[in-house]
A and B are shown apart, each in its own frame.
Chain A
Amino acid sequence: MYNKKAVMIGIVILVVLLSSPFWVGLFGTDYKETGVVKPNQEACVENAAFMRAQHMRLLNEWRDQALRNENRTYVAENGKKWEISLQNTCMKCHTNYDGFCQKCHLSNSVSPYCWTCHIIPTEGK
């Protein structure tokens, strides 16, 4: 093998870099569950699967409807009418900001810009 020293250093650097997804986790903790604290109410605006996947889109549409189209009524899939309002509708049940929103957002590095306008709920702190 020619240039043995340089090649070996190169191979070591390459293997360390390429296997980084496997060892980088050792610097943190394990992640086995989301630890979300669910609110007591039975049903959300839409069903749970939709809300899990699409809540950000729904919130975005609600913002556009309320602020740009002055439409404050949302008709859900099952025909139920909801008032379009983060403060009065969403956060009526989802009061626990740290236990609900932040649980998934923090660990998945999601930083929504809801709170550049809205006040972060503190739940009476």
Chain B
Amino acid sequence: MLESLLVVLLIGAVAWIGSCIGLTAVFGILLPYVAVSVFIVGLVRRMIYWAKSPVPFAIPTTGGQERSLDFIKQEKFDCPDTKFGVVIRMILEVCLFRSLFRNTQACSFENDPVNGGPRVVYYSSKWLWVFSLLFHYCFLIVFLRHFRFFIEPVPCCISVIEAVDGFLQIGSPRFFLTGGLLLVALVFLLCRRIFNERIRYISLANDYFPLWLLIGIVVSGICLRYFDKAEIAQVKIFIMGLTHFSPVISGLDLNGMFIVHLSLVSTLLIYFPFSKLVHMPGIFFSPTRNLPTNTREVRHVNPWNPPKQFFTYPEYEDTYRDAMAQAGLPLEKQPDKKS
């Protein structure tokens, strides 16, 4: 856990020092371009790799009654048997994280009065669902808010998002709720790994690193807005230069924290296709989510099975007819009695 934090801090420090010794072009222009290329090419490569992988078994997970007899009510979206149902389930999964909603937590009691001994109780646990939903939607809004740096003039939909996000009118520049909530959600997701001993036992560096990296991005972003302020007009000129493939750097006054923020985001983009964060496109490739529960109606053929050599009964009879006739076995077609 601490190693991941140190790595993130190291990346930040390197970017900061780089911006101080005049390597702004490396961290501000080269790194973002490399990062975006790696990100998009990496994701496409990963998706093609998944699409090439055969699904040997039909393994849809069921979250309710599957289609059965007419008088048994089917859970249409938790256990769909049609393509339409699967699409609905996928939309619910992607937009509302339905499978996390079913999350339970096991609690064991040494001496339970009900059992008169040890007992395990599975409680419904919605915290993970609440905070991951909070995290993902806040991240989406924060990402959309950044479009004010990508387009000139700023379209009104972005201004509406900002007006709603900052409707509390705290301070100046106005405090954006999603920025704060994003940090709260990330800290919860990190504390969950640190303080829940069962989850800490299964947590690895590749669980902690993305969390620390995202916390680094959010903290540097909040810092840029409220404390060590970047001059956003200059930032916009710089970013528009990047997105128009004619980067400008001379004459711009970009502060170190901005370069740190940009470098951490670039790190995230580079890391993304090779980490568990690829669940973004990966969710659509999950056989447990994208297959209909029609295993009793449709036979799922493993695509990597070799072509089967069938030996049908008529062929069998053709081969062994004489022997079968001698043994007095019943035959569909009698042997020719020439001899």
* Residues in A neighbouring B299, C-beta threshold 8 A: none
Contact A113 B171 (CB under 8 A): no
Contact B151 A27 (CB under 8 A): yes
A69 within 8 A of B: no
Contact B231 A109 (CB under 8 A): no
Q: How many angstroms between the C-alpha atoms of A107 and B55 in the bound complex? A: 50
B307 within 8 A of A: no
A79 within 8 A of B: no
Q: How many angstroms between the C-alpha atoms of A109 and B174 in the bound complex? A: 12
* Closest B residue by C-beta to A113: B169
- Per-residue A-contact encoding for B190-231, CB less than 8 Å = 1, 0 else: 000000000000000000000000000000000000000111
- From B5-13, B20-28, B41-49, B317-325, the one touching the partner chain is B41-49
* Closest B residue by C-beta to A29: B152
* Closest B residue by C-beta to A60: B172
* Residues in B neighbouring A25, C-beta threshold 8 A: 150-152, 240, 243-244
* Residues in A neighbouring B171, C-beta threshold 8 A: 60
Q: How many angstroms between the C-alpha atoms of A86 and B266 in the bound complex? A: 41
Chain A interface size band reads: 35 or more
With A21-B147, A25-B152 given, name 4 new contacts (CB 8 A): A7-B48, A21-B150, A21-B243, A22-B36
- Per-residue B-contact encoding for A1-23, CB less than 8 Å = 1, 0 else: 11110010011001100111110
* Residues in B neighbouring A43, C-beta threshold 8 A: none
B54 within 8 A of A: yes
* Residues in A neighbouring B236, C-beta threshold 8 A: 31, 107-108
* Residues in B neighbouring A27, C-beta threshold 8 A: 151
* Residues in B neighbouring A110, C-beta threshold 8 A: 173, 232
Contact B240 A30 (CB under 8 A): yes
* Closest A residue by C-beta to B246: A30
Residue pairs across A and B with Cβ atoms less than 8 A apart, 10 shown, are A2-B51, A3-B51, A10-B47, A10-B281, A19-B36, A24-B150, A31-B152, A34-B233, A53-B229, A56-B172
Contact A111 B43 (CB under 8 A): no
Q: How many angstroms between the C-alpha atoms of A50 and B169 in the bound complex? A: 23
Chain A CB count within 10 A is highest, among B51, B149, B163, for B51
Contact A109 B154 (CB under 8 A): yes
Contact A15 B163 (CB under 8 A): no
* Residues in B neighbouring A111, C-beta threshold 8 A: 159, 162-163
In the assembled complex, how far is the CB of residue B54 from the closest CB belonging to chain A, in whole angstroms?
A: 7
User: Known: A29-B152, A32-B237, A109-B154. Contact between A7 and B51, CB under 8 A?
Assistant: yes
Contact B237 A33 (CB under 8 A): yes
In the assembled complex, how far is the CB of residue A124 from the closest CB belonging to chain B, in whole angstroms?
A: 27
